[in-house]
Amino acid sequence: MQTYVLVHGAWHGGWCWIKVTRLLTDAANIVYTPTLTGLGERTHLARPEIDLDTHVQDVVAVLETEELRNVVLVGHSYAGQVISGVAARADKRIARLVYLDAFVPEAGQSLLSQLPPDRADAMRKAVETEGDGWRLAPFPPERLGVTSQRDTEWLQRHLVPQPFRTFEQALPAAAPAKLPRTYIYCSKPAMGAFDPFAERLREDRKWRFHDVKTGHDAMVTAPGEIAKILMAEARA
């Protein structure tokens, strides 16, 4: 039996892990899928002040309140920022970090600082012109690699705007180097933003690396493969 904490990316909520959660719990594992403040069923709490630190504290609170240890902590996309911050605060509760097509920040890096400047500027402009100056509308499901009509309609019903300060705030401290790490790269179609991490980590012996031939929202499009990798990584 292994305990997993699965952290969703921008615009999503804990709901997005339902397919993976079923497979993991069917195999007698324990799974937590916290929803970050201002997103998912907590969208009514959205406000301009929400930042990366808010979301890090959301997950730290789950680890501490539930008294979790030996956790496989998984972060999808934006949540690579979150789990890195969590690991800096609660490393003794974590057995392995898994970055699922996610940002892998160093101390002092924000999400925006890891993007090409033109893409970061386009996001800032969208926030100012369409997001009341503080929130970013979700990307369409197709851009997240979701192609089936049923899944596309499901995401369209649940994706919500992201408080933009979560993208702007720099990570104060990186995850401790001693923690085992895994990177899962979603390469078909690749989203682009995560190619540099895949290129750097593919041959890095300090990392375990997986290339999954699916789109960015792999927990939706390839839940069986993701669950299988997560269980294998727990045994690694």
Cβ neighbours of residue 65 closer than 8 Å, sequence gap 6 or more: none
User: What is the token pair recorded at 198?
Assistant: 């895949």
Apex 61 CA angle, 114 and 70, nearest 5:
85
187 catalytic per annotation? no
In order of 75, 100, 153, 212, the CA distances from 226 in angstroms are 12, 9, 22, 8
Contact (CB, 8 A) for 229 and 201: no
Catalytic residue among 77, 84, 110, 187: 77
φ/ψ bin of 24: left (φ > 0), alpha (ψ from -120 to 50), beta (otherwise): alpha
Which of helix, strand or coil describes residue 137? coil
If you compute the radius of gyration of the chain from its CA atoms, what whole number of angstroms results?
16
Q: What does DSSP assign to residue 93? A: G
Nearest to 12 by CA among 30, 32, 45, 39: 39
Positions marked catalytic? 77
